Amino acid sequence: MKAIINGRIIVPDINGNFKTLNNHMLIFDNYIQDILPMEDSYIAADIIDAKGCYVAPGFINIHIHGCGGADTMDDNLQSLSTIRIYQAKTGVTSFLPTTMTYDLPRIYRALERIRAARQTQEGAAILGCHMEGPFINAARKGAQSSQNIINADFSLIEKYKDIIRLITLAPETLSGNYSFVEQCQKNNITVSIGHSSAKYSVAQDAIKNHHITHITHLFNGMPPFHHRHPGIVGAALDSDVFCELITDNVHVHPVVQRMVYRLKNRGYIILITDSMRACLLGDGISELGGQKVYVKGQTATLSDGTIAGSVLTMDRAIANFMNASGAKLPEIIEMVTKNPAKELGIYQQIGSIEKGKQADITIFDDTIKIKTVLVNGHCVYTHHKNNSSD
């Protein structure tokens, strides 16, 4: 058995809202076994001293294309290994590798690799796949390639229903036929509105009547909010639907982040990175979806100036949103743990520190500097002062 001592443990209160618990120790093996007062005597084979840092559930990143020079669409398994290792360094214990709008054979190869990699253990765990396209609107493609955009057809993805956990589509392209959405839902695949030009009425109908519960990177890949044409943004803010936010202060201004925090129930905000291979590599020329990308600071763009993914990491996403919104840290931790786990239907297994749940744990300081990361009770990252990435 193992124990974490001297930490500020972030746990759910009686109502399920996260709070900080002091003067307690966390007992675990592969699963959380108990949370005991520090004054209790307990002998553990392995003790981790948190030294006053926060002890939180491991972060869950449900929208990430790549980092550290690797991308989900790369035709090799090593890229997924690289992403897993780099994600762990930023506090992420599980994630959804996210595909892009390519030709179907290449998307299928990516799904096969994700399926194979899911069976291995290194770095952050793979929960499945987020398919971002090809069932989107070319008018809102962003950095996606228009030549491979096609109409939604469940037969095209049925072979991979075991690995696809989230899929982004444009509901207006369904022409009122929601059979694709219904088939996804029957197979435990969450459907998200994104890269779409849907009007408010279409988006609201999809949410209210066809039970779509998710919005892909709110504000991005959709028409801007207008007071006479509220569109997808209006539908998202006017309903209980989970909204992804890229909080790099480039995709969404800090003022708008604060507005979303005030308008949305905290239980329906999910922070994501939407990062690409250039993440953690610094300024320079990179690639996304077969297109050249130019990175300077926190901004990544195509040659025509279109924003292309991000270079955001989850630890910085939390810090940025905390500064922008004024929300308390335990609330924000819900947005990268509890909320994505609930949306994926796996909150009984991960997403909070509670007895019986998997021991996915992230330890970090007041500046959200990651100190230690454990996946299934095993340490996959420990901060050392001589780390080249520090």
Residues labelled catalytic: 274
Inter-residue contact 89 to 383 (CB < 8 Å): no
- Alpha-helical regions (H) of the chain: 77-89, 104-117, 179-186, 200-208, 231-237, 254-263, 314-325, 329-334, 338-343
| Number of Cβ within a 10 Å radius of residue 354 | 15
Q: What angle do CA 202, 96, 155 make, to 5 degrees?
A: 60
Q: What is the 3-state secondary structure (H, E, C) of 245-257?
A: EECCCCCCCHHHH
Bridge partners of residue 37, in order along the sequence: 24
Is the link from the previous residue into 134 a cis peptide, with omega within 30 of 0?
yes
Residue 129: which H helix or E strand, with range?
strand 129-132
| Residue in 279, 271, 273 with CA at minimum distance from that of residue 311 | 279
Q: At what angle do helices 77-89 and 104-117 cross, to 10 degrees?
A: 60
Task: Write 281-288 long-range contacts (CB < 8 A, 24+).
Answer: 281/68, 281/69, 281/311, 287/71, 288/65, 288/71, 288/100, 288/143
Residue 107 CA, distance from chain mean position:
20
Nearest to 107 by CA among 159, 30, 176, 61: 159
The dihedrals phi and psi of 112, each to the nearest 5 degrees, come to -65, -40
Bridge pairing between strands 92-99 and 125-126: parallel
